[in-house]
Structure 1
Amino acid sequence: MTNMIFVNLPVSDVAKATAFYESIGATKNPMFSDETASCIVLSDQIHAMLLSHEKFASFIPGRTIADAKSAVGMLICIAQDSKDAVNAVVDKAGAAGGSADATPSQDYGFMFSRSFADPDGHIWEVMWMDPAAAAAGPEAFAEAPAA
Structure 2
Amino acid sequence: MHQQIYVNLPVKDLPRSRAFFEAMGYSFNPQFSNEVGACLELGPNLYAMLLTEDFARGFTSKPLVDATTATEVLVCLSCESREQVDSLVAKARAAGAAVPREPQIHGDFMYGHGFEDLDGHIWELACMTGSPA
TM-score (norm 1): 0.85
Q: Deviations over 1:85-135 (max 9, x none)?
A: 0000011000001112x34531123210001000000000001011xx24x
**Whole-Å separation in 1 of the counterparts to 2:102 and 2:111:** 11
Q: State whether structure 2 residue 30 is matched by structure 1 residue 30.
A: yes
CA contact (8 A) 1:2 1:45 kept: no
- 1:15 pairs with 2:15: yes
* Other-structure match for 1:41: 41
Q: Which runs of 4+ in 1 moved over 2 A?
A: 102-105
Measured in 2, the distance between the counterparts of 1:69 and 1:12 equals 11
Unaligned 5+ segments in structure 1 are: 135-140, 143-147
Distance in structure 1 (CA, Å) of the matches to 2:48 and 2:22: 12
Alignment of structure 1 residues 45-60 onto 2, 5 Å: 45-60=45-60
The CA deviation at 1:36 is 0.5
Shift of 1:2: 6.2
- SS of aligned partner of 1:54: helix
Q: Gaps (5+ residues) in structure 2?
A: none
Task: Note the aligned Cα RMSD (angstroms).
Answer: 1.4
2:103 to 102, 105, 115: 105
Q: Percentage identity across aligned positions?
A: 38
- Whole-Å Cα distance in 1 between the matches of residues 31 and 66 of structure 2? 28
Q: Which of 1 and 2 has greater Rg?
A: 1
Please give the alpha-carbon distance, in whole angstroms, between the structure 1 residues aligned to 2:98 and 2:3. 30
Paired with 2:85 and 2:124, the residues of 1 have a C-alpha distance of 9
Q: CA deviation at 1:43?
A: 0.3
